[in-house]
Amino acid sequence: MLAIIGGTGLTQLSNLEITHRQVMRTPYGEPSGALTFGLINQHEVIFIARHGYGHTLPPHLVNYRANMWALKEQGAKRIVSIASVGGIRDDLVPGTLVVPSQIVDYTHGRASTYFDARDQAVTHIDFTHPYSAALRSSLLKAGRLAGENLVDGGVYAATQGPRLETAAEINRYEGDGADMVGMTGMPEAALARELGLSYAAIAVVVNHAAGRGESSDGINLEKISAVAQPALARVRNIIERLVENDGE
């Protein structure tokens, strides 16, 4: 089954015919909210709002382990993450939708692994390619079917937040190879890999990163939701095409 993790501005999927909701407990605590089960054009999907349904959980307090665990326990095999980002690369202007291909992780202090029990054999995962190649292709195809020009690839810098970055930090991340910056991509992607789930993301560029373009003098926070709303309507369309074209 496909699961969708909705980010900022996406606390529900308007095209989801809800069948039921389920409150879950996991060995890692409670997920961000009840899992929402439903149908998109007859295909079953699970939805969860990463920041809670009332948008009250900041990125560093999201219980990523509980979210991913709960989705797996309920039968999710593939996870599509929707996440807003600031654009660093010149072409990643507000309103652009990107399917990122790589990650640099700058987060700290988050519970970021399931393999941390002292009596457990030391376990490493391969994370060379952090996103599922098959699910990335399916997303890109769904984008084409929806008439959207999804940007194929880019490096996602995951920052701790909740504050936005300084202009110098953005310059540093760009020097490290980053094309976009967001606060929720990690440890989510690594936890999916640890659980053997296919994981890919649609990054929604909602602002120029700090010090760049329109944000050269600061990031206009009011403008972000004005950019996000129409972009998220396009994302819903892409998700519909995804479930129609390779639903399980």
Contact residues for ligand HPA (CB under 6 A)? 84-86, 159, 164-165, 181-183, 206-207, 209
Helix (H, G, I), strand (E, B) or coil at 100: coil
Nearer Cβ to ligand HPA (40/85): 85
Instruction: Quote the least distance from Cβ 149 to ligand HPA, whole Å.
Output: 20
Nearer Cβ to ligand HPA (198/207): 207
Contact 158, 182 (CB under 8 A): yes
Nearer Cβ to ligand HPA (69/156): 156
Instruction: Quote the least distance from Cβ 228 to ligand HPA, whole Å.
Output: 9
Contacts of 217 (CB under 8 A, 6+ apart): none
Instruction: Quote the least distance from Cβ 209 to ligand HPA, whole Å.
Output: 5
Contacts of 227 (CB under 8 A, 6+ apart): 94, 95, 206, 207
Nearer Cβ to ligand HPA (82/191): 82
Instruction: Quote the least distance from Cβ 10 to ligand HPA, whole Å.
Output: 13
Nearer Cβ to ligand HPA (165/240): 165
Q: In the complex, which residue's CB is closest to ligand HPA?
A: 86
Helices (H), 56-208: 64-73, 133-145, 167-175, 188-194
CA distance 117 to 120: 5
Nearer Cβ to ligand HPA (71/92): 92
Q: Spell out the SS3 assignment of 179-238.
A: CEEECCCCCHHHHHHHCCCEEEEEEEEEEECCCCHHHCCCCCHHHHHHHHHHHHHHHHHH
Helix or strand run (H / E) with residue 125: none
Instruction: Quote the least distance from Cβ 192 to ligand HPA, whole Å.
Output: 20
Q: What is the DSSP letter of 176?
A: T
Instruction: Quote the least distance from Cβ 113 to ligand HPA, whole Å.
Output: 23
Instruction: Quote the least distance from Cβ 174 to ligand HPA, whole Å.
Output: 13
CB-count exposure of residue 217 (10 Å: 0-12, 13-18, 19+): exposed
CA distance 209 to 154: 15
